[in-house]
Amino acid sequence: MTKTQLIAAVAQATGLSKKAAMEAVDAVFSTVAAALKKGQEVKVMNFGKFVVVNVKASKRMNPRTKAVVQVPAHKAPRWRASSVLKKAVR
C-alpha cells in the first residue's frame, strides 16, 4: 500500500475529504519522526513500537568495488510489531 492508497483508505473509513485525510496522515508521520528525533519511543497500542537504536561503527564492503569502507556509529529508527498485530497477520 502506498501513501496515496493509505490516504484514500483513511478518507473512506473516516468520511473525511482526501485533503483532510492527507493532513491527518502527514501529521501522524511528522509527529512520530519528531519524537524519534528527540530520542523518545512511540508506542501504539495493539500495533507496535517505534524506537531509536544506537548502531556501532563497523566495516562494510562496497559490493561494486570490493573496497572496505568504515561506517561510523549512528542512530537508526526501528519498529517492533506488537504481539496482537503479529497474531492478526498470521
Q: List pLDDT tens digits, range 60-70.
A: 999 999 999 99
Residue 35: what pLDDT? 97
CB 18 within 8 A of CB 8: yes
Segment 38-67 shows an average pLDDT of 95
Segment 31-59 shows an average pLDDT of 96
pTM for this one? 0.80
**pLDDT level of residue 17 (50, 70, 90 thresholds):** very high
Segment 31-52 shows an average pLDDT of 96
Residue 86: what pLDDT? 95
Residues 6+ apart with CB under 8 A from 3: 25
Cell digits for 34? 519528531
